[in-house]
Structure 1
Amino acid sequence: MAAQFGSRLRKGAATTAAAALAVAALSASQAPGATSGDTGRQANAGASTSAPGGAGSSDGATGNSPYYTDLPPLNSPNPSTSPTPTSPSIGTAVSRGAAEAGIPATVLDAYKKAEAELRGSKPGCNLPWQLLAAIGKVESGQARGGDVDAEGNTLHRILGPQLDGNGFALIPDTDGGKYDGNSQYDQAVGPMQFIPSTWAWAGRDGNGDGVKDPNNVYDAALAAGHYLCRNGWDLSAQADMNSAILSYNNSQDYLNLVLSWYEFYRKGTHSVPDGTGTLPSHRSDSSTGSDSGSGSGSGSNGSTTKPTQSTPKPHGPTPSAPSTTPTLPPTATDTVDHLEDAGTATLTAMAGDAFGKQISTRAETKVGRTVAKVRVRFTIVGDTDATFSGGEDTATVVTDSKGVAVAPALQAGEKTGDFTVRAGVVGRTVKGVDYDATVTARAADTLALVNTTALTCAPGAEFADQVEAKATYQGAVADKVAATATLIKSADDTSENDKGPYFKDANGNAVRTLTDLQTDADGRLTLPKLYADDTTGTFLLRITTTGGATLTVELTVAAADPSSSPSPTASPSASASASASASASPSASASS
């Protein structure tokens, strides 16, 4: 594809060759946590490659497409003004420090908004926006130097090469060309270089326009943030950050490069006008930034000057073209005829709980042989808020040596009812497997009365204490469980009583049945105040919950016992005598 980055990308052959040497040298010196292995390549002990749908995925977010290998400047307070003869590009990199730290305004805003959203929705992930900036730099040169409009839409399409297996991964078309314009093979798309099959489940609406578009930097940045935050990763832990980055593009060199840019941006960045960002020059497939590939595409980023390109001449005799197109051997995916269940148990969970079992699916050939290294996509279908661990409704897992793909654990939401998890082969239309799953209402199996004093009241008065109970399920606190309270006629007749104690509705009217009650986070249920009419006696209040827990509470309405009243200090007659005596005493005194 004849995408151009403009005249800023032109470099001499000598500089390009030297830059390639500098990439290896700087990567080894700048990548945080990097160590040197026996072969001289960098290794990072914290990186994991086995998490389902994670670092071990065969395609990652980008299909392992090419990426830009330009390194950040050396952070030296006194950069050398004369580069050494063996590494002229290092001096150039240092002199461009201020420019490299500039991130186009709209792109920078998209990264920071994504960080803020993830801080609320997935606080345990601890996503730093500088990590999005590092990936955005490596994948597309910050959307080709900020070649976006005010809403974050790219002004020119940014596409990676078609993933046809010719030097890249083989990913047949999955979106009908909707995003990449290619109905034969997938290509990485947009500022964060998502392949369409990944965008189908990872896509997000970051700018609130109701559309999930990989060509919009707000949508792409938020999707990248959620992608990096799945699998329960905490990006404040280096091992988890390494795993998340490798899941984006499964390459050790990619990991080291992204970490280098991450450290660079952490030390200071600033906003520059859209369209003025510094553009990258070198790609991991040895192409310059002006070629088609990761971070490139149709359009010239506002420049009509095209870099001069030359086609290298091969050494030795020119080989003759083959008379026929060679037939490529079938891939593992090509051999899959169908998927089979691999012993998945009944999928049932209570609302808010994790499902106890995981889905297992086996890929098989037509004759029943298992097929390893096949990507299986699990998709949650139906009116449900259940998700896979990490909050996603789709997960892609590669089959193991026995041909089995195990989906991430399912987490039930608050919606009850049935839904389906659909398993299918990525890149092939073959018979899949549908798994039925059910979310049941939260339940309690035990109710216990918290009140320790008898619940008594005089006729026409108000009960001093409110009824309080605690619900548990299999010994654990049963929170958010629905309950009903009814004043019943007797233990044998559970119909509503028409006399005796009662509750009051919002208008002050007597009601003897309460519905829509719910236990709190501690499993406690506190009923409203109770009142008594003029009927005396012993009455029963019955509380029931979802799950069958039942509690019957005894209420007593009785007139006050006169014998229990405090005795007067003197009888009325005595008081009268005392009063009369007191009245007569003055005259008695006078007569004396």
Structure 2
Amino acid sequence: MAAQFGRLRKGAVNTTVAAVVVAALAASQAPGVTTDDAGRRVSTGTQPSPDTPAENSATGNSPYYTDLPPLNSPNPSPSADDDTPVATGESEAGIPATVLDAYKKAEAALREAKPGCNLQWQLLAAIGKVESGQARGGRVDADGNTLSAILGPQLNGNGFASISDTDGGAYDGDSSYDRAVGPMQFIPSTWKWAGRDGNGDGRKNPNNVYDAALAAAHYLCRYGWDLSTQGDLDRAILSYNNSRDYLNLVLRWLEYYRKGTHEIPDGTGTLPSDRSDDHAGASPSPSPTPSKTPTPSKTPGGSAKPGGNSGGSTSPKPTPPSTTPPSTPPPSTTPPTPTDTVHHLEDRGTAKLTATAGDTFAGRIRTRAETKAGEGVAKVRVRFTIVGTTDAAFSNGEKYATTLTNLSGEAVAPTLKAGENTGTFVVRATVVGRTITGLDYKATVTERAADTLTRTGDSELICTPGGEFADQVEVKATYQGAVADKVAATATLVKAADDPTENDKGPYFKDADGKAVRTLKDLETDAEGLLKLPKLYADDATGTFLLRIATSGGATLTVELKVAAESAEPTQEPASPSASPST
């Protein structure tokens, strides 16, 4: 929906007529469609939420392209050796190669990450067609970056939603108001939490078709929806742009692409020609300020005729002035939504958030949306966002979650699961659709620990000088009686029970080069809490030596190792011969 998109006139009159007929049919079948004050068709049918604000959609409910699919079915893929230029109808049905690849890779990623969503790449293609004409007909480089930025109109309330700048112009180059950005037309505030790195370059770039397609895929699957069911599919599309007309249009392109399409070279796709705001009075460039309405003149009958003529005059009659005093604004006819009444967020007794790496946090975050008087507000959407460098996530595998407050105004975040990264991070609660100060919850992930170590065997560990020990040392780690898996450990051959200094003689391990080492670091217990040490060898020193194993969490175990020379076998003296009898 970029303001900079070019306009291409349809090539054939019959195609235009057919498109108008289909458009009329689509309008007649759309339930609950009416017009707003600007003359745009809007829907009064089922929406994701009765008070869904524009900033809670992917696009900020920005304008979109309304071109309908061709009446004929998509053409099969052309042969590889066919050098015939692609005709207009064929290029309109085809999808540019890099863009198509991005859609298919996003589908594959979601099949693994969220198989229950059942997302099809054709849905991404349908949305991409409506939002940007498949990245302006595939005008992207080999890495999927658009050759120039794709920007929607300024969301300044002039025919669109009003969304003040949220990114300092970092994504859209506008520090006054937000604009939808990129081939999938994300607004900056949504991209901030929904953005993904789809091409593995370490960046989340809304103007990259791989990043944008993967972000759109996750966005459409974020509430655990099953897109193979019509109800969830409708809800997901409406959450992208909250318009019944938009839903019907995307469903038409989805059905069209499901029938089969083909790949075309990048940059050869057609640009869309019709936008949903064509007749809404909106313009990509600033409109001139209208002149003030002149004082109306009376007709001979004493009435003013707006737009009519009087006494044969050719000048139009202005509209009569309002009878409402200028200082008194017209009364609002729209009642405030529950979200409008929220003044602040209050914690509802959330316990201290601490968990061991890999474990689930015992407590859940509880937040209450309240009015200025401290009363709870029901049916308000509260978003919980994980902030900071951490691999912790909610139970849905995401860094964010949105829940609705109950009758008492309380919102409970999903279960939080710790990753392997230790340290502190923040979970921030905010009210969707309001700019009130968020509420931060500190969460801490501690390293995996063990409080007990025991040997798995009881055989004596003994060796001769210069030899090797027959048995390897194996221990089991537990924490409060449970298996302690993936716990870090260190093994050291120490000088004495009260001297943890590394010994310089006696038993030793071997490193990769066969050299003697007497300290092993970076050890880790397995899934069963077991740790088996490498083979031990002995030098020429004899005596009793100590091996100390220690884990994070403070568990220690000291094992005795003995090195002794083999005792010599006693030599049997031959029996003295008995004296021969005297003769």
Please indicate, yes or no, whether the TM-score normalized by the shorter chain is above 0.5.
yes
Structure 1 counterpart of 2:23: 20
Partner residue in 2 for 1:407: 413
Q: Which amino acid aligns with 2:557?
A: L
Structure 1 segment 74-113 matched on structure 2, within 5 A: 98-113=90-105
> Are 1:355 and 2:358 an aligned pair?
no
2:262 to 263, 267, 270: 270
SS of aligned partner of 2:26: helix
Could you tell me how far apart the structure 2 residues matched to 1:171 and 1:398 are? 22
Instruction: Find the counterpart in structure 1 of residue 349 from structure 2.
Output: 343
Q: Structure with the greater relative contact order (CA < 8 A, sep ≥ 6): 1 or 2?
A: 1
**Aligned partners of 1:226 and 1:472: how far apart in 2?**
38
Please tell me whether residue 447 in structure 1 is matched to residue 453 in structure 2.
yes
Question: Which residue does 1:302 correspond to in 2?
Answer: none
1:501 to 504, 507, 528: 507
Q: 1:162 maps to which residue?
A: 155
User: Which structure 1 residue ranges, 5 or more long, are not aligned?
Assistant: 29-40, 79-94, 299-312, 575-592
| Cα deviation 1:358-387 (Å, max 9, x = unaligned) | 322222232222334545444433343334
Change (3 A) 1:423 1:76: closer
Paired letter, 1:225: A
Letter in 2 for 1:139: E
For 1:198 and 1:475, how far apart are their aligned partners in 2? 45
| 8 Å Cα contact 2:476-2:531 kept in structure 1 | yes
Q: Residues 444 and 549 of structure 1 are in contact (CA less than 8 Å); yes or no, is this contact kept in structure 2?
A: yes
Distance 1:431 1:353, change over 3 A: same
Instruction: State the Cα distance separating 1:16 from its structure 2 match.
Output: 6.3
**How far apart, CA to CA, are the structure 2 residues paired with 1:188 and 1:156?**
11
Correspondence for 1:143: 135
Distance 1:559 1:115, change over 3 A: same
> Is the 1:157–1:297 Cα contact (8 Å) retained in structure 2?
no
Q: Output aligned runs, 1:14-413, within 5 Å.
A: 18-23=21-26, 59-68=56-65, 72=69, 98-115=90-107, 128-148=120-140, 152-153=145-146, 155=148, 157-159=150-152, 162=155, 164=157, 171-180=163-172, 185-206=177-198, 212-230=204-222, 244-245=236-237, 247-249=239-241, 258=250, 261-280=253-272, 322=322, 324=326, 326=330, 328=332, 332-390=338-396, 392-413=398-419
Over the residues paired in the alignment, what is the CA RMSD in angstroms? 4.9
| Whole-angstrom distance in 1 between the partners of 2:370 and 2:413 | 17
Shift of 1:346: 1.0
**Residue 8 in structure 1 maps to residue 10 in structure 2:** yes
The equivalent of 1:480 in structure 2 is 486
Q: 1:533 aligns with which of 526, 531, 539?
A: 539
1:456 is aligned to 462
Q: Distance in 2 between matches of 1:506 and 1:217?
A: 46
Deviation at 1:438, TM superposition (A): 0.7
Give the secondary-structure state (helix, strand or coil) at the position aligned to 1:415.
Answer: coil
CA distance in 1, matches of 2:88, 2:30: 17
* Secondary structure in structure 1 of the residue aligned to 2:146: coil
In structure 2, how many angstroms separate the alpha carbons of the residues matched to 1:321 and 1:426?
40
Partners of 1:165 and 1:389 in 2: how far apart?
40
User: What is the identity, as a one-letter code, of the residue corresponding to 2:360?
Assistant: A
Q: Distance in 2 between matches of 1:232 and 1:447?
A: 42
Paired letter, 1:23: A
Could you list the per-position Cα deviations for residues 480-509 of structure 1 after superposition, in whole angstroms to 9, with x for gaps in the alignment? 211022334666666655554332345655
Confirm or deny: 8 A CA contact 1:518 1:525 kept in the other structure: yes
CA distance in 2, matches of 1:261, 1:132: 10
Q: Classify 1:15/1:121 alpha carbon distance in 2 versus 1 (closer, same or farther; 3 Å).
A: closer
Matched residue count: 513
- SS for the counterpart of 2:56 is coil
Moved more, 419-428 or 520-529: 419-428
SS in 1 for 2:10: helix
**Alpha-carbon distance between aligned partners in 1 of 2:438 and 2:74, rounded to the nearest angstrom:** 59
2:438 equivalent among 398, 409, 432: 432
- The one-letter amino acid of 1:105's match is A
Contact 2:357 2:447 in 1 (8 A): yes
Q: 1:119 to 1:62 in 2, by over 3 A?
A: same
CA offset at residue 536 of structure 1?
Answer: 4.4
Task: Verify the 8 A CA contact 2:91 2:268 in the aligned structure 1.
Answer: no
Q: How far off its partner does 1:101 sit?
A: 3.0
CA distance in structure 2 between the partners assigned to 1:199 and 1:321 by the alignment: 45
The change in CA–CA distance for 1:2 and 1:332 in structure 2 (over 3 A counts) is: farther
Post-superposition CA distance 1:82-141 (Å, at most 9, x none) = xxxxxxxxxxxxx99744430123422433454566678778877543332122123233
Q: Secondary structure at the match of 2:213?
A: helix
3-state SS of paired residue (2:189)? helix
1:8 is aligned with what amino acid? K
Who is 1:84 aligned against? none
Partners of 1:191 and 1:292 in 2: how far apart?
A: 24
Contact 1:444–1:481 (Cα < 8 Å) also in 2: yes
Does 2:517 match 1:520?
no
Counterpart residue number, 1:548: 554
- Residues 191-224 of structure 1: per-residue CA shift (max 9 Å, x gap): 2121221012222455567664434434322322
Output one character per residue of 1:52-73: Cα deviation in whole Å (capped at 9) or x when no partner.
xxx9998232234454555545
Structure 1 Cα separation of the partners of residues 54 and 484 of structure 2: 38
Instruction: Give the C-alpha shift of residue 437 in structure 1.
Output: 1.2
Q: Secondary structure at the match of 1:439?
A: strand
Distance 1:115 1:76 in 2: 23
8 A Cα contact 1:158 1:215, kept in partner: no
CA distance in 1, matches of 2:458, 2:229: 49
Relative distance call for 1:499 and 1:506 in structure 2 (3 A) is same
Return the alpha-carbon distance in structure 1 between the equivalents of residues 4 and 367 of structure 2. Answer: 43
- The letter for the 1-side match of 2:152 is L
Q: Cα distance 1:180–1:410, how it changes in 2: closer, same or farther (>3 A)?
A: same
The question of whether the paired residues in 2 share the 8 Å contact of 1:173 and 1:427 is answered with no
How far apart, in 2, do the equivalents of 1:180 and 1:228 lie? 23
Q: Unaligned 5+ residue runs, structure 2?
A: 32-43, 76-86, 286-305, 308-316, 576-583
TM normalised by structure 2 equals: 0.70
